Amino acid sequence: MLSITNSRRNKRPESAHAQSVDAQFPRPLQAPREAAFPATIQPLQLRIRRPRGLWGSMFKWGGGAAVVLCMDVGLAMSNSFPGEESPFELAKKVITMFVQRQVFAENKDEVALVLFGTDGTENALAGEDQYQNITVHRHLMRPDFDLLEDIESKIQPGSQQADFLDALIVCMDLIQKETLGKKFEKRHIEVFTDLSSPFSRDQLDIIIDNLKKSGMSLQFFLPFPIVKKGGTGDRGDGSLLLDDHGPSFPPKGITEQQKEGIQMVKKVMMSLEGEDGLEEIYSFSESLRQLCVFKKTERHSMPWSCQLTIGSNLSIKIVAYKSVSGRYTFFKEMLPGREMCLYKKLMPFSCSPGFRYGSDIIPFSKVDEEQMKYRSEGKCFSVLGFCRSSQVHMKYFMGNQVLKVFAAKDDEAAAVALSSLIHALDELDMVAVVRYAYDQRTNPQVGVAFPLIKDTYECLAYIQLPFMEDLRQYMFSSLKNNRKCTPTEAQLSAVDALIDSMSLVQKDEEEGTIEDLFPTSKIPNPQFQRLFQCLLHRALHPQEPLPPIQQHILSMLDPPTEVTAKGQVPVSKIKTLFPLTEVIKKKNQVTGQDLFQDNPEEGPTCKRLKTEEEEARFSVSSLAEGTVTCVGSVNPADNFRVLVRQKKASFEEASHQLINHIEQFLDTNETLYFMKSMDCIKAFREEAIQFSEEQRFNNFLKALQEKVEVKQLNHFWEIVIHGKVSIFLAPKENANTDTAAAFEEGGDVDDLVSTSNTYQVFSCLNLADL
Amino acid sequence: MSGWESYYKNQGDEEEEQEEGLEAGGDYSYSGRDSLIFLVDASRAMFESQDEDELTPFDMSIQCIRSVYTNKIISSNRDLLAVVFYGTKKDKNSVNFKNIYVLQELDNPGAKRVQELDKFKGQEGKKCFQDQIGHGSDYSLSEVLWVCANLFSDVQFKMSHKRIMLFTNEDDPHGDDSAKASRARTKAGDLRDTGIFLDLMHLKKRGGFDISLFYRDIIVAEDEDIGIHFEESSKLEDLLRKVRAKETRKRVLYRLKLKLNKDVALTVGIYNMVQKAYRPSPVRLYRETNEPVKTKTRTFNVNTGSLLLPSDTKRSQIYGHRQIVLEKEETEELKRFDEPGLILIGFKPLMMLKKHHYLRPSLFVYPEESLINGSSTLFSALLTKCLEKEVLAVCRYTPRQNTPPCFVALVPQEEELDDQKIQLAPPGFQLVFLPYADDKRKVPFTEKVMANPEQVDKMKAIVQKLRFKYRSDSFENPVLQQHFRNMEALALDLMEPEQTVDLTLPKTEVMDKRLGSLVDEFKELVYPPDYNPEGKVTKRKQNDESSGSKRPKVELSEEELKAHVSKGTLGKLTVPALKEACRMYGLKGGLKKQELLDVLTEHFQKA
């Protein structure tokens, strides 16, 4: 519904008028086209009320609305000033947007389209000279994309003129006839015209009378804003929506005929609705702004009646409604085009259900389940107790809905009882903890019910609370006692300034009120807006790619510009005061040590090391670890290399640690660790050459051999032999001059065997024999 | 609970109460399994209680471990658990170290394992332990840790988190042997290097447990948990809470940039602190062997019967009598608005947050240094100032690439500790979701009828009488508990499942007793003398029952049914009518409408 109507219309009794309209509107053969016109038009004050419920919040219980769109396509509609859109185009836009909303709102509304000023004539009332140039373009039915396409392409400006009151009569006739036998909550006519065609006023009283009797409502949409004389009945929000060209009113180039038309429209609306009637006259531009937002499928809350119980003896009849819920599904169907369909191939007959209990799977048939499952005792809303409202923190709220709990309808005793509970809780600052079960088949919940007192109503709001199983107890380190992240005074005051400058509220000191500059709960969900935009585009242009997001959707999501502007300075101050550096991601394989290194700041320097490091013998990532302080067991060989090269520990100390690890590895008696030990031994040997610590290595190897003998780790020793590790043969002096040679010389254990050498502490032959 | 969701579908009602939908949240992808070793000191001191009726430290540890086991079965049965005793007489481990007994290797928790633990409970358990395993005199902690490390490395699965919990009441195990002590220290350091966390769950010791003697160097202070040190626990409850706090690893849902404007940003981690626990979905078993069945779903072309690849399918939706077709990628693209992140909009006073505008469970925001250094400092400053000025930050929140943005309020939360120094509330922001205009629904409200002060005062007295202290963990989910008790009973071949106490039921007797005559006084004040608040409803209940017991009147003749089947209008009939029809022909249909339709159609087509 383009619900620019007051809801009170709903209450108007519907009279079942089945009489044909034309019976009551005998059309005179020749209408006097010229009429006296008031001498002066007051410089009117602009006052247009913001239509209520444009988001489609009109609340209805079943039954849709029958809407006739009555559009002027006459000659004058396509006149426009250069650079401006013609009233025809504007009206078309408004109608398109209205129909778009209707298509996606998925309600029961039906829409008809009547054009007047068309070249042809096609309507039920048309006679010889009567009701000419009025075409019923589409009869009352659910709006769809065909209608949209029609509006887009088929509706063309006509070259004729037609009486808008005549068109109104055609619309009324159409509504009368086509709503017969259907149930509609309301019947509604929307007229889009520039009022530049002449009209005859002699049927006016009958029109008004008939509109009133049949309970039809009427709205006018004009290319210019109209203003009510005197501006009475101020509702406080009138000044909010001044039209763009407000001050320059009356609009340029308004003709005498139009002025007369305005008077007529006013008269009609006044006599229908009184003063408020004028508020049902809109300008195109205003409507466009309001209609650019798609309306979502209307969702109604079903009442859930139950009894609130306190103990066994006190119960209050209540009714509850879902009031906030953010669950939607779109694209439920997954059809791969027209000719294909989805099939699920399962073999349900040879299967039975089972459940996991830890590592075990337990067969559990439906029959078992029926017998053993938890049995709820049916619907309930029972108070378990009351507690201080501060104990039930918002962070515990669960589930996906808020229920509003009222006293049962038309039950004053229940209303008083619930009211006393609401006020008692409110005054004590307490809340009720409640067991809630929707019905016997759903699982019970524990939730909180807290009082909500508004001007017009009071109720309890219910929200689910977690069970013990739903809670996660994570711990986070304190931010207060952590020296690393304690902000300085200067930093704190910068943040202080930021908060002050980016405030989203405006305080009115005099009235003590606070205005919200960014009421998020008034913003329509951009997801739907985008979805509808794309669906619409795809429906009308199936071959084209999806359009970009509309600007008005994006700007809806942005903070008010003045807030962002005010925040600029404090934010840049924060930028200078707080060192914020992006961490460059390391591409190396992430090892445990990378994850748990103490000092991530070392990262960049290590990078440099990487390029400088020419030795490719060992992984650079080990250097990148930065702070190797001792030889660990994960990567002892590399740790050892780093330690001795960076001179962080003496060779003696480092080698001692390394030896310890080698011994530990040997203790496991596993091949994997033997290989690790081999790496260590090799590293030891190489570094020993570099640092002229051959003797230390020799001693180690000797000691190792003894150990191996004791522990009977022959297979390990074989690995050592095959790994071509040997003691240093050359005397110290030689080693210094020609370590490489020494290494070469001792490179092959088998060679070594054949060489008799004075330095040989043990014979490799012996070793092999072991 | 997906199972009975489809089972008990409320009919045709948009408002159906899908309390337990299957949107089980958990957006994180598992990168591996969490593993946890319970390392329990089994030396003699652990079996000595200080009081007659007090639990021995060992008993306490076992009960605590059992509770973790049963909890894990419910919450995350993929996690791996193990139990290792040390200081034992017998030994059982892969490296044949003395005095170390691996009771259970790292594996999923299961019924058998729980049963095994139960053997060591209480006085009998003590005896059982002494008979089966016995106390040893000597052990080396470094060897113990070595064994634990081996347990981790023996696991075939990828592990995301490794943790050892050490239960002991000996604060200086290697007091006389400095070599052993230093080896233990080195080994503990090695564990840390390989990413294994070691927690000390120290129990009460006569004369107090002095961490500084030995364990200070052993326990791995996680860089993130600096400053959180527990007091020793003397009660099971305390121990349980300590273990609970550590047992699950905190998983960050998203790491996001919090942008103050275009070029100033800090990084935060988003965590969820409440997560609905669901009954696990059933596993399909092959009827003959009770082995789990693999399910495969394939798509076929209706006309040609050829197999379709996922890329061959499109998504469609009907609107305004027209089928609108989108590619799968396009349906994703529809949801793309912002880059992932939090964009600061501005600040509002805390009191402007409306409790009744609740939309989804809130999340928790804590600074993250991994992407931008210095985030913690700015975060800390923001938190401090928001607390001080009592404001919340409004942000636009896009958790992932293809997720439409929503507005959230970052509500500052101060750190809270209890007397055991266990964190009750961590420092950070609560991320509270704010509804859009479409999320709110208009509700027809009952006209306001105010109660008079006398009536309100009487109700106040009632409220005061029924005061209690709410704790978020005081209610267990009766449905889940019942389910797992059932499973346990079946798994362990018990005669009958253990009785559950439904904590969600009101304790009416206690309440009535506490209220005394207040209720009658209140009723006298509020209700007219002949008013019966239950009257109407009970009457309707009877109606409901009678209509429920009566079969639906709509009896369809065979001709009618046949006509429906041939015209394909069977779907217009209501479920009760269809059920009735199925009953007439002795057909066994499911409970869902489609199942009933299928059965009936098949029947008539055959005939």
Task: Check residue A745 and give its pLDDT.
Answer: 39
Domain around B595: 558-606
Q: First CA to last CA across chain B, in angstroms?
A: 39
Task: Check residue A400 and give its pLDDT.
Answer: 85
Task: Check residue A23 and give its pLDDT.
Answer: 34
Reported as a pLDDT band with limits 50, 70 and 90, residue B269 is very high
Number of CB pairs, chain A paired with chain B, less than 8 A apart: 685
Q: Would you say residue A253 has pLDDT above 60?
A: yes
> What are the Cα distances from residue B571, in Å, to B11, B561, B596?
13, 11, 10
Q: B145 in a domain, yes or no?
A: yes
What is the spatial distance between Cα B22 and Cα B278, in angstroms, rounded to a whole number? 8
- Which of B439, B461, B485 corresponds to the end of one domain? B439
3-state secondary structure A493-558: HHHHHHHHHCECEEEECCCCEEEECCCHHHCCCHHHHHHHHHHHHHHHCCCCCCCCCCHHHHHHHC
Residues in B closer than 8 angstroms to A399, CB to CB, are 19, 361
Question: What is the amino acid identity at position A442?
Answer: T
Strands B283-286 vs A351-357: parallel, antiparallel or unpaired: antiparallel
What is the spatial distance between Cα A231 and Cα A49, in angstroms, rounded to a whole number? 11
Question: What is the amino acid identity at position A52?
Answer: R
**CATH code of the domain in which B172 resides:** 3.40.50.410
Task: Check residue A533 and give its pLDDT.
Answer: 83
Using DSSP's 3-state secondary structure scheme, residue A305 falls into strand
Reported as a pLDDT band with limits 50, 70 and 90, residue B371 is confident
Q: Would you say residue A108 has pLDDT above 70?
A: yes
Q: B325 in a domain, yes or no?
A: no
Most confident of A123-132, A270-279, B278-287, B504-513: B504-513
The mean pLDDT value for B270-280 works out to 84
The mean pLDDT value for A717-742 works out to 52
Distance from chain centroid for Cα A211 = 44
Asked if residue A364 lies in contact with residue B490, where contact means CB atoms within 8 angstroms, the answer is yes
- Comparing B256 with B423, the larger pLDDT belongs to B256
User: B588 CB near a chain A CB, below 8 Å?
Assistant: no
Tens digit of each residue's pLDDT (9 = 90 or more) over B12-42: 333 333 333 333 333 333 467 788 899 998 8
Question: What is the amino acid identity at position A566?
Answer: K
What is the spatial distance between Cα B594 and Cα B607, in angstroms, rounded to a whole number? 20
Task: Check residue A627 and give its pLDDT.
Answer: 58
- Comparing A658 with A37, the larger pLDDT belongs to A658
- Which of B508, B526, B544 corresponds to the end of one domain? B526
Q: B543 in a domain, yes or no?
A: no
Task: Check residue A593 and give its pLDDT.
Answer: 46
Partners of B446 in beta bridges? none
What is the spatial distance between Cα A627 and Cα A639, in angstroms, rounded to a whole number? 10
Task: Check residue A669 and give its pLDDT.
Answer: 67
Task: Check residue A63 and give its pLDDT.
Answer: 63
What is the spatial distance between Cα A435 and Cα A382, in angstroms, rounded to a whole number? 5
- Comparing A737 with B316, the larger pLDDT belongs to B316
Mean pLDDT for chain B? 78
Domains identified in chain B, total number: 4
Tens digit of each residue's pLDDT (9 = 90 or more) over A127-137: 877 888 899 99
Q: Which two tokens stand for residue A329?
A: 């599904």
Is A475 close to B376, i.e. CB distance below 8 A? no
Tens digit of each residue's pLDDT (9 = 90 or more) over B318-347: 776 777 777 778 888 888 888 899 999 999
Q: Which of A202-211, A467-476, A490-499, B292-301 bottoms out in mean pLDDT, i.e. has the lowest?
A: B292-301
Q: Would you say residue A31 has pLDDT above 70?
A: no
Q: For chain B, positions 245-284, list CB contacts with chain A under 8 A.
A: 245-246, 248, 250, 260-261, 263-266, 271-277, 280, 282-284
Classify residue B366 by its DSSP letter.
Answer: E
Task: Check residue A672 and give its pLDDT.
Answer: 67
- Which of B378, B405, B439 corresponds to the end of one domain? B439
**CATH code of the domain in which B468 resides:** 1.10.1600.10
Find, among B120, B12, B9, B101, the residue nearest to B63 by Cα: B120
- Comparing B606 with A478, the larger pLDDT belongs to A478
Report the residue from B225, B320, B504 with minimal CB separation from A475: B225
Question: What is the amino acid identity at position A571?
Answer: V
Q: Would you say residue B407 has pLDDT above 90?
A: yes
Answer yes or no: do B469 and B486 share one domain: yes
**CATH code of the domain in which B597 resides:** 1.10.720.30
Task: Check residue A625 and give its pLDDT.
Answer: 43
B282: nearest CA partner in chain A: A355
Answer yes or no: do B475 and B495 share one domain: yes
Answer yes or no: do B49 and B106 share one domain: yes
Residues whose CB falls within 8 Å of the CB of residue B188, separated by 6 or more in sequence, listed in order:
B145, B198, B217, B218, B219, B220
Q: B1 in a domain, yes or no?
A: no
Q: Which two tokens stand for residue A154?
A: 């088929």
Answer yes or no: do B428 and B489 share one domain: no
Task: Check residue B220 and give its pLDDT.
Answer: 57
Reported as a pLDDT band with limits 50, 70 and 90, residue B248 is low
Is A317 close to B537, i.e. CB distance below 8 A? yes
Residues whose CB falls within 8 Å of the CB of residue B172, separated by 6 or more in sequence, listed in order:
B210, B213, B214
Residues in B closer than 8 angstroms to A400, CB to CB, are 21, 359-360
- Sheet containing strand B33-41, edge to edge, reads B100-107, B80-86, B33-41, B159-168, B196-202
Q: Would you say residue A384 has pLDDT above 90?
A: yes
Report the gap between the CA of A190 and the closest CA in chain B (Å).
21
Answer yes or no: do B364 and B479 share one domain: no
Task: Check residue A450 and give its pLDDT.
Answer: 95
3-state secondary structure B54-87: CCCHHHHHHHHHHHHHHHHHHHCCCCEEEEEEEC
Find, among A458, A463, A394, the residue nearest to A425 by Cα: A458
Q: B539 in a domain, yes or no?
A: no
The mean pLDDT value for A423-439 works out to 93
> Is residue B396 classed exposed, middle or buried when 0-12, 13-18 and 19+ CB atoms within 10 A define those classes?
buried
Q: Would you say residue A421 has pLDDT above 90?
A: yes
Partners of B257 in beta bridges? B267
Asked if residue A420 lies in contact with residue A316, where contact means CB atoms within 8 angstroms, the answer is no
Reported as a pLDDT band with limits 50, 70 and 90, residue B461 is very high
Q: Which two tokens stand for residue A292?
A: 């650019």
Asked if residue A59 lies in contact with residue B444, where contact means CB atoms within 8 angstroms, the answer is yes
B338: nearest CA partner in chain A: A554
What is the spatial distance between Cα B466 and Cα A276, in angstroms, rounded to a whole number? 52
> What are the Cα distances from residue B99, in Å, to A203, B186, B248?
109, 20, 29
Report the residue from B302, B396, B477 with minimal CB separation from A341: B302
Task: Check residue B207 and give its pLDDT.
Answer: 75
pLDDT-above-90 percentage for chain A: 11
Q: Would you say residue A13 has pLDDT above 60?
A: no
Q: Would you say residue A383 has pLDDT above 90?
A: yes
A371: nearest CA partner in chain B: B486
Answer yes or no: do B435 and B398 share one domain: yes
Task: Check residue A388 and give its pLDDT.
Answer: 93
Answer yes or no: do B177 and B69 share one domain: yes
Q: Which of A215-229, B93-107, B357-371, B548-562 bottoms out in mean pLDDT, i.e. has the lowest?
A: B548-562
Q: Which of A91-95, A247-251, B360-364 bottoms out in mean pLDDT, i.e. has the lowest?
A: A247-251
Answer yes or no: do B129 and B162 share one domain: yes
User: B598 CB near a chain A CB, below 8 Å?
Assistant: no
Q: Would you say residue A241 has pLDDT above 90?
A: no
Tens digit of each residue's pLDDT (9 = 90 or more) over B516-527: 889 899 998 888
Report the gap between the CA of A459 and the closest CA in chain B (Å).
9
Report the gap between the CA of B560 and the closest CA in chain A (Å).
27
Task: Check residue A344 and give its pLDDT.
Answer: 41
Q: B243 in a domain, yes or no?
A: yes
Q: B544 in a domain, yes or no?
A: no
Tens digit of each residue's pLDDT (9 = 90 or more) over A287-342: 776 666 665 555 667 889 899 999 888 889 999 988 877 655 454 434 443 333 44
Answer yes or no: do B460 and B515 share one domain: yes
Answer yes or no: do B215 and B256 share one domain: no
pLDDT-above-70 percentage for chain B: 83
Tens digit of each residue's pLDDT (9 = 90 or more) over B175-196: 778 888 888 888 888 888 888 8
Reported as a pLDDT band with limits 50, 70 and 90, residue B499 is confident
Q: B20 in a domain, yes or no?
A: no
Distance from chain centroid for Cα A143 = 29
The upper half-sphere exposure of residue A34, i.e. CA atoms within 13 Å in the direction of its Cβ, equals 0
pLDDT-above-70 percentage for chain A: 70
Asked if residue B49 lies in contact with residue B176, where contact means CB atoms within 8 angstroms, the answer is no
Answer yes or no: do B398 and B344 share one domain: yes
- Comparing B148 with A292, the larger pLDDT belongs to B148
Q: Please report, for chain A, how many H helices and E strands are present, in that order.
A: 25, 18
Report the gap between the CA of B50 and the closest CA in chain A (Å).
31
**CATH code of the domain in which B382 resides:** 2.40.290.10
Task: Check residue B366 and give its pLDDT.
Answer: 92
A538: nearest CA partner in chain B: B324
- Comparing B570 with A147, the larger pLDDT belongs to A147
Report the residue from B384, B442, B458 with minimal CB separation from A59: B442
Answer yes or no: do B41 and B97 share one domain: yes
Tens digit of each residue's pLDDT (9 = 90 or more) over A351-374: 778 887 777 788 887 777 777 788
Task: Check residue B532 and give its pLDDT.
Answer: 79
- Comparing A434 with B122, the larger pLDDT belongs to A434
Q: Would you say residue B456 has pLDDT above 80?
A: yes
- Comparing B515 with A714, the larger pLDDT belongs to B515
Q: Would you say residue A58 has pLDDT above 50?
A: no
Reported as a pLDDT band with limits 50, 70 and 90, residue B218 is confident
Report the gap between the CA of A416 and the closest CA in chain B (Å).
5
Q: pTM of the entire structure?
A: 0.68
Asked if residue A746 lies in contact with residue A728, where contact means CB atoms within 8 angstroms, the answer is yes
Q: Which two tokens stand for residue A9?
A: 């219309």
The mean pLDDT value for A477-494 works out to 83
